Amino acid sequence: MDPCDTGCPNWPCCLLDEFDCDDEVCNTNSPCLPNDPNWPECLDEGSSQTWGVPSMGTCGCPTSGDPRKPTGRIEVDDTQFSKNDGVKRVTVKGSRDRILWTKTSTDYNGCWMIDKKYTKKFRLRIQFTDEFSDRLHVRALRGARLWNAQIKPVRTPAYKYNRNDGDDLEDICILFDQSDDVHDRQQQTYVAAVANNSVHEYHDYIQSFGSLPDDMRILISDWSSMGYSAPMMHQLPGVQLVNAAFGSAFLAGLTLGPPAYFGSMAMEPDITYRWDITMTDRMKNIFYHEISHAAHYDRVNTGYWEDYIDYIVEVDGDTNQPSPYGDGSLSGAGQVAVSESWAYAQGYTVTDMRYTTNHSLPGGATTERWINQLEGIRFIWGYVPMGLYHDLVDENGVAPVTGSEHAFVNDNYTGLSYQHILGALDADIYSVDQYRGRLWNEIANSVGTQADFDALFLSYNQ
């Protein structure tokens, strides 16, 4: 490397560590030196270099017009669509030396820009934290890496670029897709991106009539013992969190071993997810289901959720009760019936809004779409009325609800909204019968006839 002096073509830019003597000329007209109060910004003043103008890049995002300022788009593949989704509101970090990092966030389209100039080397990392709106962050348990759940959120390896090698910093397109190896880091990143977008999509859906807790912690894992759940541990304060700590079954599909348990506890997850599904609509259906529990939690008090966890632990300890929710004979089963009905109705509804006829379910694209699954199933787990809340809202035979009603369901009632449904899910509602009374007294009596309303609920009595 030639010494930096007035004989260098790149004088005085070569005084900066990131420039060489013979790099591209950044300034020839301004007497800008390190003792200038505006150093190094003054290097651009009077420059003979003409940069471009902002334009639309090949990734579908605006460029800065300056090839030294990194811009681009982060995308995630969806198995049901030919067009990729932007990864929403994740943290993007850029550095030239791996020591000092500049952070920004993607927008709702996955677009990002770092307002800093990099003349040669540039390193990029994506981190699954929402520092823009503080809605969530994602951590992972993969293989034996227990420390990941405690120390850091999911992040990508560094993407490395060098403008001297012809790399374009203005149009960096990164796609997260699935791996052939379900246990590798690529698959972990893909699932983290799906989890991230699921939370933001659910926020968009529920914001007009409900809410979600801030800073939800989502734990994803490739462990077969990890279950799908919403323990809401990060949200639970004080004694509720201590009591919830004994809910190891709740955290991991009832078969969680000690290492996984303590790794999970270190993160205090609100939602847990085991990645063993490859179709994106089915993945999101599970995330929407668990996020629906989070919306219910945000409406009730923490004691209600502690009771929920206590019931799951009780079922796990009773050899006569089938896991995970028992057979409905225990005293706390009514709470499960109320909450799980809500989560199933919302999970399927939001999935259908997202995918309509572009689903992966077997059968006809229209007749078997997600919303119609709620028509044909009366109970799940033997006693949870899966289609009840949907039947209170739907209008049979009117698209998209074109599925056949279950033979034992008498559904002539319609006209409520999910705002009404959630509005009656109060902290003192521990059974479907209590819910029926609350819903009728608060709103349903002004919408339809009591005969139709009662007949529908009677259809879901065992």
pLDDT digit string, tens, across residues 357-385: 999 999 999 999 999 999 988 999 999 99
241 pLDDT more than 80:
no
Asked whether residue 122 falls in the same domain as residue 258, the answer is: yes
Instruction: Name the pairing type of β-strands 136-141 and 216-221.
Output: parallel
Is the distance from CB of 336 to CB of 325 less than 8 angstroms? yes
Predicted confidence at residue 318, as pLDDT, reads 79
pLDDT > 90: what percent of the chain? Answer: 58
- Give pLDDT tens digits for 66-87: 888 999 999 999 999 999 999 9
91-95 vs 136-141, strand pairing mode = unpaired
Tell me, yes or no, whether 319 and 350 share the same domain: no
Query: Do residue 297 and residue 215 come from a single domain?
Result: yes
Q: Is the dihedral of CA 366, 368, 369, 372 positive or negative?
A: positive
Tokens of 142: 């993969």
**What is the rounded distance in angstroms from the CA atom of residue 236 to the CA atom of residue 21?**
58
End position of a domain, from candidates 324, 344, 361? 324
As a whole number, mean pLDDT of residues 235-263 equals: 50
Query: Order of strands, edge to edge, in the sheet holding 271-274?
Result: 136-141, 216-221, 271-274
Predicted local confidence at residue 90, as pLDDT: 98
pLDDT above 70 for 180: yes
**Residue 303 near residue 239 (C-beta atoms within 8 A):** no
On whether both 90 and 208 belong to a single domain, the answer is yes
Question: Are 41 and 170 in the same domain?
Answer: no
Compute the distance between CA of residue 83 and CA of residue 246 in angstroms, rounded to an integer. Answer: 44
Confidence of residue 396 (pLDDT cuts 50, 70, 90): confident
Residue range 295-309: mean pLDDT, rounded: 92
Same domain for 449 and 337: yes
pLDDT, residue 371, reads 94
- Residue 197 vs residues 18, 72, 284: alpha-carbon distances, Å: 36, 18, 9
Confidence of residue 65 (pLDDT cuts 50, 70, 90): confident
Is residue 320 located within the same domain as residue 227? yes
Tell me if residue 304 falls in helix, strand or coil.
helix
Dihedral angle of Cα 223, 226, 227, 230, to the nearest 10 degrees: -130
> Of 284, 306, 324, at which residue does a domain stop?
324
Radius of gyration of the chain (CA): 27
Helix (H, G, I), strand (E, B) or coil at 414: coil
Three-state SS for 141? Answer: strand
Which DSSP letter does residue 445 get? Answer: G
Q: In the listed set 283, 298, 324, which residue is the last one of a domain according to the structure? A: 324
Domain count, the chain: 3
Q: Any idea which residue has 């970090």 for tokens?
A: 93
Using the predicted structure, report yes or no on whether residue 41 has a pLDDT greater than 80.
no
**Higher confidence at residue 462 or residue 276?**
276
Q: What is the DSSP letter of 399?
A: T
Distances (CA, A) of 10 to 26, 41, 290, 361: 7, 15, 57, 61
| Residue 130: closest CA among 104, 98, 111 | 104
> What's the domain range around 195?
56-324
Is 224 found in the same domain as 86? Answer: yes
Pick from 305, 216, 301: nearest CA to 267: 216
Query: In whole angstroms, what is the distance from residue 209 CA to residue 408 CA?
Result: 31
User: What pLDDT shows up at residue 256?
Assistant: 44
- The answer to whether 344 and 318 have CB atoms below 8 angstroms apart is no
Quick check: 172 pLDDT over 70? yes
* Best-predicted range by mean pLDDT (32-46, 241-255, 263-277): 263-277
Helix (H, G, I), strand (E, B) or coil at 240: helix
pLDDT value for 373: 93
Residues 65, 46 share a domain: no
**Residues 132 and 120 placed together within one structural domain of the fold:** yes
Backbone dihedral angles phi then psi of residue 126, each to the nearest 5 degrees:
-115, 130
To the nearest whole percent, how much of the chain has pLDDT over 70?
82
- Do residues 63 and 42 share a domain? no
Q: What is the pLDDT of residue 239?
A: 44
Is pLDDT at 38 greater than 80 in this prediction? no
- The whole-chain average pLDDT of the chain stands at 86
Same domain, 208 and 281: yes
